[in-house]
């Protein structure tokens, strides 16, 4: 699993896996037939840093990480892929008809979901969106300013459209006590409510 800001519930785990699987399969099919999907349109910032092949391979790693019993810290390059795959999936899902939405999430309890709120998902599960900083903004901060704000070298590389080095894609194991402390029970209550067509529930008012 990935160390999200909040412990993923079943709905989010399903959504993020489907988002990654869908983009992986789309890329793999286009590579196989030498008909590249419009990668810059689907994931515009990721496309500046990853080729379709490298994106497919790294998305496959993220899927495996999500399914791992151990918890890992990922880098800003991974957060970027997670974000843009999720954004693409939410756009397609929210525009789809009811049968297609059920095909995406299954006919079980998650079938009640007919709208996924990307903005709220990012607010709840993502630590920050430094990977979306504009190039000019980071350049103006300078090295000391970026360090003071805790902006990673990966975020700087992303802003400049640089392909990741091997060290930029290292997954770090998180100690169980840190995971437990991070994912203490949230008093705000569950995010999924089968009576609500929105996910996360309670944010559509």
pLDDT for residue 203: 62
Q: CA–CA distance from 99 to each of 16, 18, 22, 114, 178 (Å)?
A: 20, 16, 17, 10, 41
Share of the chain above pLDDT 90, in %: 63
Q: How far is the C-alpha of 43 from the C-alpha of 92, rounded, in Å?
A: 13
Task: Let me know if residue 39 belongs to a domain.
Answer: yes
Work out the average pLDDT over 74-92: 97
User: How many folded domains does the chain comprise?
Assistant: 1
Tell me the per-residue pLDDT of 166-200, one tens digit each, with 9 for 90 and over: 999 999 999 999 999 999 876 667 899 988 999 99
Task: Let me know if residue 204 belongs to a domain.
Answer: no
Tell me the per-residue pLDDT of 4-31, one tens digit each, with 9 for 90 and over: 999 999 999 999 999 999 999 989 887 8
Task: Let me know if residue 95 belongs to a domain.
Answer: yes
Q: In sequence order, what are the beta bridge partners of 72?
A: 2, 173
Task: Let me know if residue 149 belongs to a domain.
Answer: no
Domain span at 80: 10-126+166-183
Tell me the per-residue pLDDT of 145-166, one tens digit each, with 9 for 90 and over: 777 777 888 888 899 999 999 9
Question: Running DSSP on this structure, what letter comes out for residue 2?
Answer: B
Task: Let me know if residue 104 belongs to a domain.
Answer: yes
């Amino acid at each position: 699993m990935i160390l999200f800001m909040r412990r993923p519930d079943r709905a989010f785990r399903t959504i993020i896996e489907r988002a990654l699987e869908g983009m992986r399969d789309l890329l793999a099919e286009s590579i196989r037939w030498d008909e590249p999907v419009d990668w810059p349109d689907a994931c515009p910032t990721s496309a500046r840093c990853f080729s379709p092949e490298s994106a497919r391979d790294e998305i496959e790693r993220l899927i495996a990480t999500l399914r791992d019993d151990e918890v890992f810290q990922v880098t800003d390059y991974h957060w970027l892929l997670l974000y843009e795959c999720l954004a693409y999936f939410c756009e397609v899902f929210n525009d789809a008809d009811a049968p297609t939405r059920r095909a995406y999430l299954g006919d079980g309890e998650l079938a009640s979901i007919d709208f996924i709120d990307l903005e709220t998902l990012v607010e709840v599960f993502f630590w920050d969106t430094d990977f979306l900083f504009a190039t000019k903004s980071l350049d103006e901060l300078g090295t000391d300013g970026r360090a003071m704000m805790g902006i990673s070298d990966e975020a700087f590389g992303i802003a400049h459209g640089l392909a990741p080095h091997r060290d930029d894609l290292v997954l770090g194991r998180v100690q169980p006590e840190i995971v437990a402390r991070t994912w203490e029970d949230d008093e705000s209550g569950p995010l999924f409510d089968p009576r609500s067509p929105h996910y996360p529930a309670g944010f559509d008012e």
